[in-house]
Amino acid sequence: MTTLLTAQDISVSLSRTAPPVLAELTLEVAQGETLAVLGASGTGKTTLARTLAGLRHPDTGRVTFRGVDVRHLGARTHRALRCDLQMIFQDPYSSLDPRQTIGQALAEPLLARIQDSASRTLRIESILHALALPADTQARRPHEFSGGQRQRIAIARALVGEPALVIADEAVSALDASVQARVLNILLEQQRRTGLALVFISHDMAVVRHMAHRVIVLDKGHIVEDGPTEKVFTAPQAVATRRLLQAAA
Ligand SMILES: Nc1ncnc2c1ncn2[C@@H]1O[C@H](COP(=O)(O)OP(=O)(O)OP(=O)(O)O)[C@@H](O)[C@H]1O
């Protein structure tokens, strides 16, 4: 399977006195794969997600997406590549520009791949419909929506361009059960159709078990468990994994 994302020996410290949040951590994500990241609160899952997406630079080590250092994805020459790596945050405020209409925000990831504006609008309509958002969503701005609707808009923005990789950090946790199921089905459908890869961070063990092919568990800056989902759930090796499973039981 083609490797899409590689993190090699990445370390991240957030304070000079505390031990590093991530300590020389190495991982790979392949095309079509869902990798879940588990760990108790404060073990660095969000820090890892941001570092993988190129939003935080590691103190040591390197993250590459399709062989390109993620620090360089902001460059004009890598625009198409940038669109292929999307992140969905826990807090949708940070990913939506209050000045843009939703139509403008959702057109952005499509500009490099769909030239015709009518075709872009059709694609945007289709993802908004799939996420059960109102028909007039495109003309409106983020502040006109509820928190849950904004989260769905952020999800639509991440998925509209059919990216190769989505890093989802508690992306569906705040949504009610039926909307959550709808979003998870869209992710699975896109994975089947386009080979979408996912880095999936969630506290919800049932959702992780349903979605992930492989699970890693973080503890004290290290990956203490790494294996196929069913194996991790039925025969966990690390103490940290057993604790998480017990807490969820
Ligand atoms: N800006 C910051 N400055 C200093 N320390 C920070 C900062 N942001 C986070 N931390 C600390 O870094 C550690 C990792 O935080 P992170 O948010 O990555 O963990 P997490 O596993 O995502 O947690 P949660 O499951 O609670 O969301 C925590 O101990 C946190 O207190």
41 C-beta closer than 6 A to ligand 1:
yes
Q: Which atom of ligand 1 is nearest to the CA of 43?
A: 21
ipTM of predicted assembly, 2 dp: 0.93
Q: Is 46 in the pocket of ligand 1 (CB under 6 A)?
A: yes
Q: Whose CA is nearest to atom 24 of ligand 1?
A: 41
For ligand 1, mutation pick of 10, 12, 14, 223 (most atoms within 8 Å of CB): 14
Q: What's the rounded Cα separation, in Å, for the pair 151 and 144? A: 13
pLDDT band per the 50, 70, 90 thresholds, residue 223: very high
Per CATH, which fold does 3-248 belong to?
Rossmann fold (3.40.50)
Q: Which of 220, 222, 194, 191 lies closest to 10, judged by CA?
A: 222
Ligand 1, closest atom to CA 39?
A: 21
Q: What does residue 74 show for φ and ψ, rounded to 5 degrees?
A: -75, -15
Q: Which of 11, 17, 21, 38 to mutate to test the pocket of ligand 1 (most atoms within 8 A of CB)?
A: 21
The answer to whether 160 touches 127, Cβ cutoff 8 Å, is yes
Listed residue (181, 203, 186) closest to 126, CA to CA: 186
- Residue 153 sits at φ, ψ, to 5 deg, of -65, -40
Query: How many CA within 13 A on the CB side of residue 168?
Result: 34
Q: What are the pLDDT digits (tens) for 68-118?
A: 999 998 888 888 888 999 999 887 666 788 899 999 999 998 988 888 999
pLDDT one-digit tens code per residue, 175-195: 999 999 999 999 999 999 999
